[in-house]
Amino acid sequence: MKWNQSNRNETVLKGVPTIPTRLDKDINGNKPSNSVFFVKTKNGESLKRDWLSYSRSKEAFFCFPCLLFCNSTETQKAKLARPGVGYSHLDHSTGWKKLLDKVTAHQVSSNHLQLYMEWKKLVVKLKNNTSVDLMTIRHYDAEVQKWRDILKRYLDVVLYCSTHDLALRGSSSLLSETENNGNFLGLLQLIAKYDPLLKSHLAEVEDAQRSGRPLKTTYLSGTSQNELLSLCGNKVRKEILKRLKESKYFGMSCDATPDRSKTEQTTLILRYVHLIDNEWSVEESFIEFIEFNLKKGVQLAELYLSRLKHFGVPEEDMRAQGYDNGSNMAGVHKGVQAEIQRVNKFALFSPCSGHSLNLCGVHSVQSTPRSKKYFSNIQRLYVLFSGSPGRWSIITSTLNLTFKSQSETRWSERVDSVKAVATQQPRVIICLQKLLVAFDASLTPDAKTTAEDLLKYFSSFESILHGTIWTKVMQINQETSLLLQTRGISLDHQAALVQNLKEDLQLIRDSFPKLYLEATNVAKAMNISPDLKVIGTSLSGRLRRTARPNVLNNSTEEVHVEATSKIIIKSFILFAYCIL
């Protein structure tokens, strides 16, 4: 170790390490004699050799003051004063036999006596607080504590922003530009109003930024913020991997999506069981983002297995895989799950239940032209009114629920967009009428045609009937979808949820006449004729007329119920079949 004033003084204040009572025996089975540790004066008094120290790792004795203050090669000729060497029984066939002679000779050497006195003087100075070095140490310690306190506040702000999904940086790194310097600097400036230490530090930084005077260290740069984030992430990941190894077996879930910079971000998530307060809890922990542009199953499988190896997670302990239904992930021959099962046959694959349910909804809507038209018109409605602030002001002043854009990836979330139209359809018609009147001169021909088309469609009984049915179907689908994504859910619970969804869909199917009558009442209240131009449709999509009498009461209304059901209910019948 290279000594400087700071660490030398610190070591002197700690004192000479205590020599263990039990020392290692030499090859002859002997231990150092007590005469090694004590010296007798001429008057017969026994004094402890306070300069003698022992290293258990080296199994050797050293001279404490000579190690601290020795700078000459002359002194280091003695083994007791040589760093990393010392006097060890391992270096001599005679073991500890000559130790006493070496210690006695070293104690009376001139170099040792000089360094011994230097050591004792420094001890007195440090204890009396009269050493210049001690004042330097105190100043150094105060500076270290100051930066520790400042960095602790930095870390708290980083953790707060991370917990609340807030970006750290803004367009400026200057403290004076409070509107553009981002959440990290902004929160620090807020805390500084009540924190004298941080206030003084930020004032010094801001003054240096204004005058152009460089500061050696501020830890406010984007690089420092990224480093704090990285350190926090590594700490969390280390704890996750520790828990994972304690639980031994785990499941793996992976997915990929491009970010705003068009970089493919692959996620690695591990699922395991963790004991918390004597209760077992299913944990699902994110491990890392991986930039990876290749798409083949074998390439992705190699990537995932290599990352597990990198983190020290045994691939043979994997017991489950969970991905979406893409062929490169779920394929039975060349998908990721198949490639991993060739390595570990116990890693059973289960497709993502939320993604599977989402596909059921997407395919059910696509099964009939009329359902596609209904959802397409809802999206057209949103696009039309969101085209300008003036148009949007019409719906905010008229509707309780504003229009929502339909999600491309989460079909279950379309319930919000359907509900906004189906539950307030009379007001939707008023909005379209206001748009055509108030913006008649400013509407483009395409926008005007779209508005007229939508007004005609949402003034029809077909749209009311679709809204009545799909609101209920999508509501129960959304509830199930959210429950399927619950943290800690098990396979048997998922199976029970899907079974309940099938039964609820069957109830809706069986109660279709009531839904039809409900839509009829809504239509009559809006002065809309509860009639459909086309009453039935074949499974191939070819339109046909129905002349079959109704089995209920032969009423015209119930004939419409039976025939119309073949138009609308085909969609969520297929939805139920998909779930099966």
pLDDT at position 111 is 87
- What residues contact residue 163 under an 8 Å CB cut-off, 6+ apart? none
* Residue 233 located in a structural domain: no
Can you give the pTM of this predicted structure? 0.60
pLDDT at position 570 is 53
Same domain? 434 vs 526: yes
**CB–CB of 31/25 below 8 Å?**
yes
Same domain? 525 vs 410: yes
Least confident of 298-302, 364-368, 448-452, 564-568: 564-568
In tens, the pLDDT along 311-340 reads: 999 999 999 998 888 888 888 888 999 999
* Residue 384 located in a structural domain: yes
Same domain? 140 vs 115: no
Q: Which of 351, 383, 416 is the last residue of a domain?
A: 351
Same domain? 315 vs 373: no
Q: Which of 130, 162, 181 is the last residue of a domain?
A: 130
Look at strands 318-322 and 250-258 and give their pairing. parallel
Which of 313, 269, 265, 271 lies closest to 291 in space, CA to CA? 265
- HSE-up of residue 23 (Cα within 13 Å, Cβ side): 24
- The two tokens of residue 107 are 């104690």
The CATH number given to whatever domain includes residue 325 is: 3.30.420
Structurally, the chain folds into a number of domains equal to: 4
Long-range CB contacts for residues 509-515, cutoff 8 Å, separation at least 24: 509/569, 509/572, 509/573, 509/576, 512/469, 512/561, 512/565, 512/569, 513/552, 513/558, 513/561, 515/465, 515/468, 515/469, 515/472
* Residue 241 located in a structural domain: no
Same domain? 326 vs 385: no
- What residues contact residue 335 under an 8 Å CB cut-off, 6+ apart? 297, 323, 327, 328, 329
In tens, the pLDDT along 456-466 reads: 999 999 899 88
Determine the structural domain holding residue 464 and report its residue range.
358-579
Separation of alpha carbons 268 and 255, rounded Å: 7
Same domain? 87 vs 75: yes
Same domain? 317 vs 261: yes
User: Where residue 561 falls among pLDDT bands split at 50, 70, 90?
Assistant: very low
The position carrying tokens 């007004």 is 455
Distances (CA, A) of 462 to 2, 173, 417, 507, 572: 87, 57, 17, 22, 16
Distances (CA, A) of 517 to 209, 229, 504, 566: 73, 59, 19, 16
Separation of alpha carbons 521 and 508, rounded Å: 18
**CB–CB of 238/224 below 8 Å?**
no
- The two tokens of residue 102 are 């070496």
Averaged confidence pLDDT in the chain: 83
* Residue 239 located in a structural domain: no
pLDDT at position 512 is 84
The position carrying tokens 């399927």 is 484
Same domain? 379 vs 492: yes
Distances (CA, A) of 49 to 40, 251, 547: 10, 62, 118
* Residue 316 located in a structural domain: yes
First to last CA, the chain: 72
Same domain? 141 vs 50: no
**CB–CB of 313/284 below 8 Å?**
no
* Residue 430 located in a structural domain: yes
Same domain? 410 vs 524: yes
pLDDT at position 77 is 67
Higher pLDDT, 355 or 570: 355
Same domain? 306 vs 212: no
Q: Which of 130, 164, 184 is the last residue of a domain?
A: 130
Range 405-422 average pLDDT: 79
* Residue 452 located in a structural domain: yes
Same domain? 209 vs 152: yes
Separation of alpha carbons 78 and 80, rounded Å: 5
* Residue 502 located in a structural domain: yes
Separation of alpha carbons 574 and 367, rounded Å: 8
